[in-house]
A and B are shown apart, each in its own frame.
Chain A
């Protein structure tokens, strides 16, 4: 399959705008589930306002949240796809900048030392572009995630040791949720990375935090931990916006990787309640948009 990079650029632009405006159905269902279970009056009001905002954004064709986030594009290349990686990255970057200038969007990206904003949502290494491969033939998938900073600022890594066991992981996750309080815009998706190296562990946490609600860790031990930690963090009572209640997290998601015999790393990355993502799928019959 040949790739038309003008279409990739167009999709990169379209994906950023779609992600900012329409929440995926699994997140909407997550809200409905929390609202039905919530017992605290303040939290019920907060959740109702969040749910109302989702429909106001759709009705007024506006952004769900003012934070346009750090633009992240996850590319998955199937078999039999003829790809020029440099052209692909350039097209994504150009599409991201066009969304920012043409809509216009707030460019939230600055140089880390000078704090200079180029007003394009682009900078050194941003948009973040991850490339991976899949076994699906004749398919190119691009997932776009505008990662909000309120939740991203609450990212944690602990290089625990083997003697501390899984208890160190459980304790760390609970303590991260406590430390984050209302700053992450709860209810959140708490992403937990376990194992790997320090950098892989943090990347796994991000992958977990941005995974669709209702999906589970492919490892049964990871799934078990997801279930017990989801119940645990919601028993803390932090609640939506840190104002108290049962709805602290939609879920705890776990992703894991093998690690070294001397290591026991755990990372936490959080996704705020505006759990935004959009997806474009390129096949020989054209481009299809979804979540």
Chain B
């Protein structure tokens, strides 16, 4: 179990060095997006001006406060509470994020499924688990909202955050076919019969 300090953009070789149960802390740049952002990018033909190649994205829609643009708030937004949403709803967007935009790291909670895992293996990517529902803590890792695109979708805009010491995050899905969620799900499913028996439920 190694720890990685990551400053994107990172290369394919670099991302393939990460294995499940490793931990990682992100520095510098992190992009935020979620359901509506990706529906518009991949189902409605919109494009972003941001260069996401080698970068990390997080499944989020933050609480922000509109403020005057300044050096401290170049996008005209101050972060209030930045957290993470359930990744599973965005499963089908992993592959196009990687093939069309070159994203290498997805940060989220609750995990992604088979096609994401296959995309990570084929194209070189990882899923880093953050602890969902710990947004107050996560917000202390956000230095600034540097930029924003697709802002008509607010709060589901495409956000560019500047982060410092964002983590530690857990490598939960890697580019070698490893998924902690699969391990836990299979173990839990294997315990089902015994648990039902303990409840006195007659076998089906």
Contacts and interface: CB of A to CB of B under 8 A. Distances in A.
B86 interface: yes
B184 interface: yes
Given A66-B84, A185-B109, A167 B202 contact: yes
Interface string A225-251: 000110111011111111110000000
A236 B80 contact: no
Main secondary structure of the interface of A (DSSP, over half): loop
A183 B137 contact: no
A235 B129 contact: no
Interface stretch (B9-17, B94-102, B192-200): B192-200
Nearest to A62: B136
Interface in B128-143: 129, 131-137, 139-140
Interface in A16-56: 42, 46, 49-50, 52-53, 56
A43 to B, nearest CB: 10
A66 B135 contact: yes
B187 A106 contact: no
Contacts of B177: none
Interface stretch (B47-55, B59-67, B68-76, B115-123): B59-67
B185 interface: yes
A184 to B, nearest CB: 8
Interface in A109-148: 115, 117, 119, 148
A105 interface: yes
A236 B133 CA distance: 22
Interface residues of A, number: 58
Contacts of A115: 36
Given A243-B170, A244-B184, A182 B135 contact: no
Given A178-B189, A183-B86, A232 B198 contact: yes
A203 B82 CA distance: 31
Contacts of A149: 85-86
Interface string B141-160: 00000000000001100000
Given A63-B63, A150-B110, A171 B196 contact: yes
Contacts of B155: 106-108, 117
Contacts of B180: 243-244
Given A42-B170, A183-B86, A237-B191, A63 B129 contact: no
Contact of A170 (B81, B187, B201): B201
B63 A66 contact: yes
Residue from A68, A148, A183, A240 with most neighbouring chain B CB atoms (10 Å): A183
Contact of B85 (A57, A62, A150, A175): A150
Nearest to A244: B184
Residue from B135, B180, B202 with most neighbouring chain A CB atoms (10 Å): B135
B191 A182 contact: no
A269 interface: no
Given A106-B63, A117-B154, 18 more contacts: A49-B131, A53-B135, A62-B136, A63-B81, A66-B61, A106-B62, A117-B155, A153-B86, A170-B196, A178-B188, A182-B110, A229-B199, A231-B198, A232-B195, A233-B195, A241-B110, A243-B129, A244-B187
30 contacts: A42-B170, A52-B134, A53-B134, A53-B135, A62-B139, A63-B81, A65-B132, A66-B60, A66-B62, A66-B83, A104-B64, A106-B64, A107-B155, A148-B133, A149-B85, A153-B86, A167-B199, A167-B202, A170-B201, A171-B201, A178-B189, A181-B188, A182-B109, A229-B199, A235-B195, A235-B198, A240-B131, A242-B184, A243-B180, A243-B184
Interface of B: 36, 60-66, 80-86, 88-89, 109-111, 129, 131-137, 139-140, 154-155, 170, 172, 180-181, 183-185, 187-189, 191-192, 194-196, 198-202
Interface of A: 42, 46, 49-50, 52-53, 56-57, 60, 62-68, 103-108, 115, 117, 119, 148-150, 153, 167, 170-171, 174-175, 178, 181-185, 228-229, 231-233, 235-244, 272-274
